[in-house]
Amino acid sequence: MNRGQLKFLLEHYKTVFEEEQHFVRDFLELVDHPLAFSRDRKAGHFTASAWIVNKTRTHTLLTLHRKLNKWLQLGGHADGNDNLLEVSLVEAREESGLTSLRLVDRTIFDIDRHLIPARGEVAEHFHYDVRFLIEAEMDEPLTMSEESKELAWVGFDMVDAFVNGNQSILRMLEKTSRSEIFT
């Protein structure tokens, strides 16, 4: 995937979720910015995430993010790489140690624009997060990176308790339960 392919996927991105419909325009405006994939764009930049689920679609892998102190999906900065699909897989591997990762679909699974609070010399800014659906084996050992306080396979029935109502994660959970994404 490159910048042009990402733009194509965003132009054709379909969602029934109103909040995502509002994000699409902002994502399309950003994709053409020369620093869209770099932290050097101080107002905000692209990130990529992996919504990792087990094969039977009963659990998702979440991380207790060290800096944000929240349970989230795995992912991170593009750092200049416009191949966000690749970024999501690299981040998933680095943050979990999993080698059984398998991309379910090359299309975008979810998008979210969220505010990152100021921290040290880094000012408050937006992450334009592009998410991909990835499957992994639950019995494979996990290896936690320094970006996490914890890693856990969380049953779908327990996700809300972990994420305290985080709507973007609950939206991905709802999408996972819809059968049309697996046909």
Note the pLDDT of residue 179.
53
First to last CA, the chain: 22
Quick one: the chain helix, strand, coil %, rounded to 5? 30, 30, 40
Q: Which residue has the higher pLDDT, 122 or 82?
A: 82
pLDDT digits 0-9 by tens, 137-154: 999 999 989 989 999 999
CB-based contacts of 118-124 (< 8 A; 24+ apart in sequence): 119/67, 123/42
pLDDT at 180 over 80: no
Note the pLDDT of residue 183.
38
- CATH number (domain holding residue 137): 3.90.79.10
pLDDT digits 0-9 by tens, 122-140: 889 999 999 999 999 999 9
| C-alpha closest to that of 140 among 97, 174, 183 | 97
Angle between helices 18-31 and 167-177 (to 10 degrees): 110
Average pLDDT across the chain, whole number: 93
Identify the domain containing residue 171 by its residue range: 3-182
Average of per-residue pLDDT across 76-97 = 96
Would you place residue 67 in the very low, low, confident or very high pLDDT band (cuts 50, 70, 90)?
Answer: confident
Measured from the Cβ of residue 99, the count of other Cβ atoms closer than 10 Å reads: 10
Average of per-residue pLDDT across 61-69 = 92
Task: For the chain, state the CA radius of gyration.
Answer: 15
83 CB-near residues (< 8 Å, 6+ apart):
1, 2
Structurally, the chain folds into a number of domains equal to 1
| C-alpha closest to that of 60 among 139, 153, 136 | 153
Inter-residue contact 83 to 94 (CB < 8 Å): no
